[in-house]
Amino acid sequence: MWRAIEMSFHEVRPYLGDRWVGTANYEQVVTDEAFLDAIGHTLVLALGQTGGSVVLGLALALLLEGTARRLWIVRTAVFLPTVTAMAVVAEVWRILYHPAADGAVNTLLGWLGSGPSQFLNSPDSALWSVMAVGVWRGAPYDMMIFLAALAGVDRTLYEAAAVDGAGVRRRIWHVTLPALRPAFVILFTLAAIRSLRVFTEIFLLTNGGPDGSTEVLMTLIYKLGLERNELGVAAAGSMVLLGVSVALTLAVRLSGPRGKEAAR
């Protein structure tokens, strides 16, 4: 890490010696249009994937909680996306997203009366298509943490709420969700960091295209450092990503019940 910080203030020239450039690399990061677009795409992807995976993970946990959680084959099938290699996941979704009208997802859209979409081949839909893959892959991981948290909820609270005439939705809102607050803080933190570090799915599905519409900080840093040999600028971009990750993590922690108590 210290080497990366040092590199971020230098023009890195292998075999020739590094040249001090001060904050020039950081100025390029915060003013270059490609970097600003990558930061925007990263934040949109992080927010979308974080919210989507947590909500879907909670829904899956509620469905599998109780007697359904003992059906090991169902739990295994639901958790399978998380343990599947990203290269396999990317290839499967590339086939599903095939732009032809007879592609799997386009066929489904046709049944619903919608025309075929280009998905990964269109600047308007590529980022959202990659986001859907991230949500699909991350939700089972969040589900397992929610299942563990649900196991610790006092069942007498549900019984008392039922006696008072509360329906399923009211029991979830007034009993389940308050009991899951610590799990929400942990999951939002983990999911946000996971989403900010997204690289493999972007690299395999779109490689930042089309027209840079899915370029994120990780892929841009990779291209600057290993393809263009601009190691100093890449290091500065890495430090910016680290700063965003720390800021987002602190924001999530401070928004939780423990964070509020600590802030007082």
Per-residue pLDDT at 171: 83
DSSP β-bridge partners for residue 11: 19
CB atoms within 10 A of CB 86: 15
C-alpha to C-alpha distances, 232 to 18, 198, 224, 229, nearest whole angstrom: 9, 21, 9, 9
- Helix/strand/coil percentages in the chain, nearest 5: 75, 0, 25
Of 82, 186, 75, nearest to 134 by C-alpha is 82
Per-residue pLDDT at 190: 81
Of 114, 91, 89, nearest to 101 by C-alpha is 114
Give 10-residue mean pLDDT values along the chain (264 residues). Answer: 80 78 85 87 88 90 71 76 87 87 81 82 91 91 88 82 81 85 84 82 89 90 85 88 81 61 41
Per-residue pLDDT at 67: 58
Per-residue pLDDT at 240: 86
Instruction: Determine contact, residues 45/191, Cβ cutoff 8 Å.
Output: no
Instruction: Determine contact, residues 119/105, Cβ cutoff 8 Å.
Output: yes
Helical (H) or strand (E) element with 120:
none
Per-residue pLDDT at 109: 83
